[in-house]
């Protein structure tokens, strides 16, 4: 049965002005962008000028959606982070007909709110254990498409949706593109732990080689504390987050490090995502997008269209 939000979006696309649509819930924000001749909802026409980093995020997100979310994809995972709002923008721009039968699964509170406010149909991994495509951000990505995630404390749900997806794609800006993990993301690996076990896990990680203080003098291994609140950060699952940096020689083998940390009693999930990504899209300052694929190939595109071209896809390759 169509949701009220879907009916509102359909009314918009059938020709009614934005002023004719009244939100049935204060959580829903009706799209206000002008329509294209094809009755799609572009993110904007023309695309607004953004600061370099934000523009890079938008480019990466738009290119990933255009290449990996086709008309046949009906169950879509929406990740977390500062790049993901542009993913939702591009999906919404595909129009009502493309989205009316789709279900969108969030990795956390942020992406849940994005889905609801866009008027898209919200689902849960309890209902859809297999996902067609999940697109997510990352804190850092290495040469082999291994990544660090969890800067926003969503790594458990992010990994569940990544593993459930037939295709998992990373979107980020050029600052996240590294050779070795830990080069630019120096805060450490985010580790979600059961609250009653955090002190024991901190001790275990210290014995494994995570330093209390970084070479630059900044704090190393630590329990992540909240901002604008007293006490530690609490994840959507009610757990604590530990940030654990490790020496470069250990970060060169993230798979081994992942296994060792995951075996510690009290650890719920580790923010190392290894051998999972189909491709990573990095938006560059010059307006290009660097695409690194799991087969080792590297591609670069110079621009993305203002309005997505809807296509069917075969094996993640768009075809006319």
Largest Cα–Cα distance of the chain, in whole Å? 64
Known catalytic residue at 158: yes
- Estimate the crossing angle of helix 52-68 against helix 84-93, to 10 degrees: 50
- The alpha carbon dihedral of 98, 304, 88, 124 has a sign of positive
Question: Of 158, 192, 248, 269, which is the active-site residue?
Answer: 158
Could you write out the DSSP letters of every residue in 256-267?
HHHHHHHTSTTE
Are the C-beta atoms of 309 and 69 separated by less than 8 Å? no
Contacts of the segment 7-12: beta carbons below 8 A, 24+ positions apart: 8/119, 9/96, 9/99, 9/119, 10/96, 10/100, 12/41, 12/96
Residues assigned a catalytic role: 158
């Amino acid at each position: 049965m169509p949701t009220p939000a879907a009916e509102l979006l359909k009314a918009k696309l059938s020709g009614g002005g934005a002023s004719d649509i009244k939100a049935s819930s204060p959580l829903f924000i009706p799209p206000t962008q002008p329509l294209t001749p094809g009755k799609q909802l572009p993110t904007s026409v023309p695309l607004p000028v953004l600061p370099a980093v934000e523009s890079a995020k938008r480019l990466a997100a738009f290119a990933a959606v255009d290449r990996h979310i086709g008309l046949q994809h009906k169950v879509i995972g929406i990740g977390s982070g500062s790049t993901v709002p542009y993913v939702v923008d591009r999906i919404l721009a595909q129009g009502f007909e493309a989205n009316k039968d789709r279900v969108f699964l969030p990795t956390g509170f942020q992406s849940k709110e994005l889905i609801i406010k866009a008027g898209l149909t919200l689902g849960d991994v309890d209902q859809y254990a297999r996902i067609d495509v999940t697109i997510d951000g990352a804190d850092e990505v290495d040469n082999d498409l291994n990544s660090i995630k969890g800067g926003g404390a969503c790594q458990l749900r992010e990994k569940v949706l990544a593993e459930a997806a037939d295709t998992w794609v990373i979107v980020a800006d050029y600052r996240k593109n590294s050779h070795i993990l830990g080069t630019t993301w120096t805060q450490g690996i985010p580790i979600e732990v059961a609250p009653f076990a955090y002190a024991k896990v901190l001790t275990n990680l210290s014995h494994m080689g995570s330093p209390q203080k970084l070479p630059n003098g900044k704090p190393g291994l630590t329990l992540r504390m909240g901002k604008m609140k007293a006490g530690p950060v609490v994840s959507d699952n009610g757990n604590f987050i530990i940030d654990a940096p490790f020496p470069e020689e250990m970060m060169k083998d993230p798979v081994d490090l992942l296994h060792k940390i995951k075996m510690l009693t009290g650890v719920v999930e580790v923010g190392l995502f290894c051998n999972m990504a189909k491709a990573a899209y990095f938006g560059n300052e010059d307006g290009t997008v660097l695409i690194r694929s799991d087969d080792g190939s590297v591609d670069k595109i110079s621009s993305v269209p203002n309005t997505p071209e809807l296509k069917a896809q075969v094996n993640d390759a768009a075809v006319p």
